[in-house]
Structure 1
Amino acid sequence: MVGRIKTAKNTNPLLEQPISRVVCLGHATQEIYLVDHDDFIVKKDSISVGEKVYIDQVSYQVGGGGTNAAVTFARHGHQSILISNLGTDSAAEAIIDFLIDENVDTSYLNQLDGQTGTSVIMLDSKTASATTMTCLGVAAKYKNLTASDLSLANPDWLYVTGLSGDMEKLLEFVEYAKENQIQIMWSPGKEELAQKKKVLGLLSDIDILILNQKEAKQLVQGEILEELLARLSPYVKTLIITDGANGAIATNGQESYRLAQYEPKKPVDFSGAGDAFGAGFLAGILDGLDFKNSLIAAAANSTSVISYIGPKTGILSANEKFHPMPIQKLEI
């Protein structure tokens, strides 16, 4: 494991709120953006085999759902802890340095023999469309991680992102969390969602579930957000379903809301939009916002993130002021 950083104070310096401790479990990767204004547009013969292509920009970023969430909570002044695997290469060192600079506790990161997960993203700067090629490397390995780390970390919340389909390891962490009164927010990946019965069977132990519309349709029948919410919400305490520029829908069992877009804004890069909404929502709750205003904070965070290349630059902090947005309370 790598070195511990200085722990935070007992109050959130941004809001004078009591701070929370959040463990984030998920991928930590490097992302290499190849950005161009015309060569990556999908069309016949846009790039020929063997051709050298000159592009406009290369951008190196830290990616992975675990790091996206961890940075969000840290920027809100909470004690943010990341559990993940890195390799023993220069990419791992760059990720660790970045997380330490962001005040994320790196004590529970493991460095394994092998390559740090890496994505190469071909991003069209005109349309924000992208093609991603990913080698997860050691980021896909979770057998070495142990839920007993939660005892040492002593978090209030466990925020889980995709674990490459390792439902056995996920169940280990969920069971430990529930036995120790740790609340859980889950943003499952496509490999987990492919195991529909296991996912649905686990939802009674999840406090907050976030999915996009396509993911929700893998679990229940329905087309529109209202249908999906009605059919999936009985499984889980709090449910959020996002739908890109079409907004989101959410319920906590007492209140339900339909959100439009936070503000019309030309997207630059959609990477990390879902993580920004999910972690932004929980950060709002931890900052003392109510359900409705936490949803507004989530929408604002997601809109900010897609306004920049990479999933981290646009992440907001707790001192942001949010303008009114279209949000409608629904009858339950």
Structure 2
Amino acid sequence: MADFDLISIGDSTIDVFMEIDPQEADTFCKLDDKECFVSFKYGAKIPVKKFTRIAGVGNAANNAIGSSRLGLKTAIYTILGSDNEGREMKNIFEDEDVETKFIVTESEKRSNFSVVLNYSAERSIFVYHEERSYNLPELGETKWVYFTSVGKGHEALHQQIPDYIKKSGAKLGYNPGTHELKEGLDALTPVLQACEVVLVNREEAYELVGGDILDIKGLLLALKKIGAQIVVITDGRDGSYASIDGREVWFCPIPLESPVVERTGCGDAYSTGFLAALAQGKELPEAMLWGTMNATSVIQYIGAREGLLTPEGMKKTIEKWGSFAKAKMI
């Protein structure tokens, strides 16, 4: 019998949210509103409307805590600084019933830190990643592994994780972070080929595949050919897409009428709901629904953790918004 349902692997951080009044900045958008820029006067002192600090977040942390809330027995491998923030984050994991025995505390190193500028329900994130010495510990047995954003010096994990998956028989879910994406497809191929599920947003999919492929079906097929069993691409307000065989494509819309406060952690919430559903024996369309409902809840709060659903919360959210988010084959 497996020791865990899921082990999350990746960095953890402290998020500080600063809400900027729209009157304090200018926005410039391209004609299709797909790409916008926010500008502040150079040298000016910009008033902050609201300030919120949240510890124990980041892609892996959000997944571990969110999976625990959805009823999975979870653990996390993450590296923390030997500071008050590191101790605070470890306590948060313990409070959320996430096993902490794989956590590494690096002496004389600081914890990671992010500043999130919220502007009209959208955000820009300034990220500080302390350089770490990553080395996969002995994980024991787990049904699933979720590998996500790590910082510089993570290259050893690209072989250690596939080796562990092959040896243990666990299933791997993967959402590459910024540093991994910059390395390119060749460097990530060993991990991608070991995956049961790859979850990326549309921009990440394009960055991975490159070339002239722009349409969702083409991106799904290109990623599927690398070796993952299931490929999921999220596309913001345009919903999410998934494919198992590279030919049949499922689409799940989002409930556009649901309130939006702040979007940090939306993608993590989707991945968490999606994998938790698969881990509990749900089929692909219901997994997409769970991911969408978890994300729908998270964006109604500031930060990536508060809106993460419990089983009862998932049931209520599906009752309220599920009719707007039914997956269908396209």
User: Does TM, scored on the shorter chain, surpass 0.5?
Assistant: yes
> For residue 33 of structure 2, what is the aligned residue in structure 1?
none
> For residue 139 of structure 2, what is the aligned residue in structure 1?
150
Give the AA of the match of 2:233: I
Q: Mapping of 1:32-181 within 5 angstroms?
A: 32-38=16-22, 41-42=25-26, 46-49=40-43, 51=45, 53-62=46-55, 63-112=57-106, 113-124=108-119, 127-137=120-130, 140-143=131-134, 145-146=135-136, 148-151=137-140, 154-164=141-151, 166-181=154-169
Quick check: 1:200–1:219 contact (8 Å CA) kept in 2? no
Quick check: 1:39–1:55 contact (8 Å CA) kept in 2? no
> For residue 229 of structure 1, what is the aligned residue in structure 2?
220
> For residue 252 of structure 1, what is the aligned residue in structure 2?
244
- In 1, Cα distance between the equivalents of 2:24 and 2:270? 27
Q: Deviations over 1:135-164 (max 9, x none)?
A: 212xx4143x32x4212xx21111000122
Aligned-pair CA distance for 1:36: 3.0
Of 202, 207, 213, the match for 1:213: 202
Aligned-pair CA distance for 1:263: 4.0
- Flag structure 1 segments of 5+ consecutive residues without an equivalent: 1-9, 11-17
Quick check: 1:86–1:110 contact (8 Å CA) kept in 2? yes
Of 160, 179, 187, the match for 1:198: 187
Aligned-pair CA distance for 1:100: 1.3
Q: 1:48 to 1:199 in 2, by over 3 A?
A: closer
> For residue 272 of structure 2, what is the aligned residue in structure 1?
279
Q: 1:40 to 1:116 in 2, by over 3 A?
A: farther
Aligned-pair CA distance for 1:102: 1.0
- In 1, Cα distance between the equivalents of 2:109 and 2:23? 33
Aligned-pair CA distance for 1:105: 1.0
> For residue 31 of structure 2, what is the aligned residue in structure 1?
none
SS in 2 for 1:156: strand
- Is 2:324 aligned against 1:325? yes
- In 1, Cα distance between the equivalents of 2:62 and 2:175? 12
Aligned-pair CA distance for 1:225: 1.4
Give the AA of the match of 2:307: G
- In 1, Cα distance between the equivalents of 2:4 and 2:39? 52
> For residue 258 of structure 2, what is the aligned residue in structure 1?
265
Quick check: 1:262–1:296 contact (8 Å CA) kept in 2? no
Of 29, 41, 47, the match for 2:13: 29
Aligned-pair CA distance for 1:328: 4.9
Deviates more, 1:196-205 or 1:92-101: 196-205
Of 289, 294, 298, the match for 2:282: 289
Aligned-pair CA distance for 1:169: 1.7
Aligned-pair CA distance for 1:82: 0.8
Aligned-pair CA distance for 1:131: 2.7
Give the AA of the match of 1:22: L
Task: Please report the TM-score for the alignment, with normalisation by the length of structure 1.
Answer: 0.85
SS in 1 for 2:156: helix
Quick check: 1:274–1:302 contact (8 Å CA) kept in 2? yes
- In 1, Cα distance between the equivalents of 2:39 and 2:242? 43
Q: 1:92 to 1:287 in 2, by over 3 A?
A: same
- In 2, Cα distance between the equivalents of 1:69 and 1:218? 23
Aligned-pair CA distance for 1:198: 2.3
Give the AA of the match of 2:147: V
Task: Please report the TM-score for the alignment, with normalisation by the length of structure 2.
Answer: 0.85
Q: Deviations over 1:102-144 (max 9, x none)?
A: 11111111111211001112212xx12223222212xx4143x
Q: 1:190 to 1:135 in 2, by over 3 A?
A: closer
Deviates more, 1:319-328 or 1:215-224: 319-328
Aligned-pair CA distance for 1:250: 0.1
Identity of aligned residues (%): 21
